[in-house]
Structure 1
Amino acid sequence: MGTVHTLSDLRLERMPQLAEAKGIHEDWTGIGDAETRRKLQNRLNVRAHRKRKAAQSQAPALPAPATDVSTVCWDEDHQTVTLLPAQLANTIPRPPSPLIPPMFRGTPTYPTTRIVFPLTSDHLITLVQYNVLRAAMTNLRLLSALHTVPSECSQALRIVPVPTTNATTFSGPDQPVPPSLEPTPLQRAVTHDKWINILPHAVWRDNCILAAGTYDSNDMRRDFLGGLWEGFPGSEAERRGLIAWSTPWEISGWEVSEGFIEKWGWLLKGCKGVMEATNRWRALRGEEPVVIEI
């Protein structure tokens, strides 16, 4: 005769996917509307992520295994920042001469200095800032907009303006604009700060234009470039800015810092590609993904 189970034999457990729910109003398991269900799931994921981060900050830091240590290096051939295992990076020959652009050498403003690779952590902050600047200038060039760079910046960078017949031109005669930088109807119709055009994500650009007047555009530009011109502490440059890892005109090549997201994340609404790219680069370093409601 088979075993007869009674209600007292049943063991009730809380569903793990609802571990962070604060009440029945956050139970998404029976909701049919996809948008509402996804919003509740995101809320619980954000809460769980913050709890993990809080626990990690209180736990004693453990040294990472030597095999997992990576060093940021400059790929001269591809003009990008790249991550290499520390053991491999240490075998890279140190060049006999500085690997910095000639425009920054031997002038009163930029005296000659000796730079060796791999760089120390202090140098890497400046390298990250410089790489963002390089990416920004690349996108400006693709948009035939180098003439919009402020005069004090163009003098420091030795920029020679390219003649143009139309100050609002977005592309040159022999240089098509990449689809990711193609101006949106809003960009063409509404006067806005021209630096917004270099953002390689159409929704992000439109968000910045639509929110004009509600935020300090110069403040955001400073954070975007990591304080390269105005300057702020190196530790803040790493936390507040962006990182350009590869192709400047593709959002997949960019990473947004946690500090930038905390301050400007509200302008990333609808910018799923920005967060996907950011978390892809974070995953390569073994870091937790950043979760925000977009």
Structure 2
Amino acid sequence: MSELTNLNHQLLLRSAIIGDKDNWFGLADSAKRKKIQNRINQRSHRKLVVIYQRPPEVSSTVNICLVGARQRHKPSPCTPSPSTAVPTVSHRNATSIPSIRVLITAVLNHELDLKMLVDKVNILQLHSWDNQAIIRVFETIASHDRRTGIIRSNMLSSLSQFNFSRALMLNAEVFGLSADHMHDDACSLFVVAGPWPVSVNINTETLPHGLRPTSLQYRTEHHPWIDLLPVAQLRDNILQRSVDTYDEADLCRAFTGRGHGQGTGVIVWREPWDPSGWEVTAEFARSWGWVISGCFDLFRSTNMWRSQRGERPLFRSQ
């Protein structure tokens, strides 16, 4: 079983906590237990009704990391101005809405792995209809699992993956980036000459310390997704590595866990721009050691979070 199943699930599921009055687990009185279960089911039904009645919105169909991976392998220079670029965004057609609803229903009925649903999270559109629906489903399932005391085997890894995707989305908002700035040919604003949109924050003095650019970020053309990682040495490690020596799409999947059943390679416990809240898993450290080479603060934060769960340190003390 993955080490992620040993994580303190109260940290991952804290957004779904409901009062003890809904906890029917171990209740001997069958009538009272049935009453509580009915109340829970009605609440869940109301949530799903809200999900299905929400109007569809424009939604991007790309993954932020994989977009960056494709861009860095292209020989053409970065797009000079995000305002003139054509973003890789498509309008969701009528058939895509039922597809999400079908997935949600299948997951709730235990007919489909929860991982299939979390892979649909679009980190370019935090407030999209699909994302909000998936968030609601997670809240419903997490609340149910907490009350029953039975956690789905893939719940923790799926929520870890979702937390990482959400972390990148929130860091993109810190920069004021939208889908228009994250398209396939986009280039980091730190290496693109202005003028920039008013919404974009490139005043490094106002950025959280973990997101302030390094000199290498100013000199090296790269996709903005790299700027969203709040560990400076990690960003530099990626930029210094020749794109011909590794598969960047694989690296992105290792970060996010997209398409894999073992969860994410990174766990985010605090505000996403705070590097002390980031933890790497043993699997990621083994497979992508060069990415985190010299990231001593990340080593310390990883060991700290592991120690809080009673686990052995992953890295030697520096």
- Structure 1 length-normalised TM: 0.56
Matched, 1:273 2:297: yes
Distance (whole Å) between structure 2 residues aligned to residue 103 and residue 292 of structure 1: 47
Cα displacement (A) at 1:272 = 0.4
Counterpart secondary structure, 2:300:
helix
Q: Which residue of 2 aligns with 1:210?
A: 240
Q: Which residue of 1 aligns with 2:223?
A: 193
Please tell me whether the aligned partners of residues 242 and 256 of structure 1 are also in contact (alpha carbons under 8 angstroms): yes
Q: Which residue of 1 aligns with 2:201?
A: 171
What's the CA shift string for 1:243-282, capped at 9, x where partnerless?
1111100111111011110111122222100011111111
Cα displacement (A) at 1:172 = 6.3
* Distance change in 2, residues 1:267/1:122 (3 Å): closer
* Distance change in 2, residues 1:290/1:99 (3 Å): farther
2:309 to 285, 288, 291: 285
Cα displacement (A) at 1:183 = 1.1
Q: Give the structure, 1 or 2, with the largest relative contact order (CA under 8 Å, sep 6 or more).
A: 2
Counterpart secondary structure, 2:9:
strand
Please tell me whether the aligned partners of residues 279 and 290 of structure 1 are also in contact (alpha carbons under 8 angstroms): yes
Cα displacement (A) at 1:289 = 0.5
Structure 1 range deviating more: 245-254 or 139-148: 139-148
Counterpart secondary structure, 1:130:
helix
Q: Alignment RMSD, CA only?
A: 3.7
Counterpart secondary structure, 1:246:
coil
Q: Which residue of 2 aligns with 1:110?
A: 100
Counterpart secondary structure, 1:121:
coil
- Report the residue type matching 2:242 in the other structure: A
Please tell me whether the aligned partners of residues 145 and 170 of structure 1 are also in contact (alpha carbons under 8 angstroms): yes
Distance (whole Å) between structure 1 residues aligned to residue 293 and residue 246 of structure 2: 15
Please tell me whether the aligned partners of residues 7 and 156 of structure 2 are also in contact (alpha carbons under 8 angstroms): no
Matched, 1:138 2:170: yes
Please tell me whether the aligned partners of residues 140 and 198 of structure 1 are also in contact (alpha carbons under 8 angstroms): yes
Sequence identity percentage: 30
**Ranges in structure 2 where 5+ consecutive residues have no aligned partner:** 1-5, 24-39, 55-96, 106-136, 185-193
- Report the residue type matching 1:130 in the other structure: F
- Report the residue type matching 1:193 in the other structure: H
Matched, 1:243 2:267: yes
Matched, 1:232 2:260: yes
Please tell me whether the aligned partners of residues 182 and 224 of structure 2 are also in contact (alpha carbons under 8 angstroms): no
Distance (whole Å) between structure 2 residues aligned to residue 105 and residue 286 of structure 1: 44
Matched, 1:252 2:276: yes
Cα displacement (A) at 1:218 = 1.4
- Report the residue type matching 1:199 in the other structure: L
Distance (whole Å) between structure 1 residues aligned to residue 298 and residue 213 of structure 2: 18
* Distance change in 2, residues 1:265/1:141 (3 Å): same
Please tell me whether the aligned partners of residues 243 and 255 of structure 1 are also in contact (alpha carbons under 8 angstroms): yes
Counterpart secondary structure, 2:288:
helix
What's the CA shift string for 1:133-168, capped at 9, x where partnerless?
1101011111222333348xxxxxxxxxxxx9527x
Cα displacement (A) at 1:124 = 2.3
Distance (whole Å) between structure 2 residues aligned to residue 244 and residue 186 of structure 1: 25
* Distance change in 2, residues 1:103/1:90 (3 Å): closer
Counterpart secondary structure, 1:274:
helix
Cα displacement (A) at 1:70 = 4.7
What's the CA shift string for 1:10-66, capped at 9, x where partnerless?
xxxxxxxxxxxxxxxxxxxxxxxxxxxxxxxxxxxxxxxxxxxxxxxxxxxxxxxxx
Please tell me whether the aligned partners of residues 142 and 172 of structure 1 are also in contact (alpha carbons under 8 angstroms): no
- Report the residue type matching 1:242 in the other structure: V
* Distance change in 2, residues 1:257/1:165 (3 Å): same
Q: Which residue of 1 aligns with 2:78?
A: none
Q: Which residue of 1 aligns with 2:161?
A: 129
1:149 to 182, 187, 203: 182
What count of residue pairs does the alignment treat as equivalent?
196
Please tell me whether the aligned partners of residues 131 and 244 of structure 1 are also in contact (alpha carbons under 8 angstroms): yes
2:250 to 206, 209, 219: 219
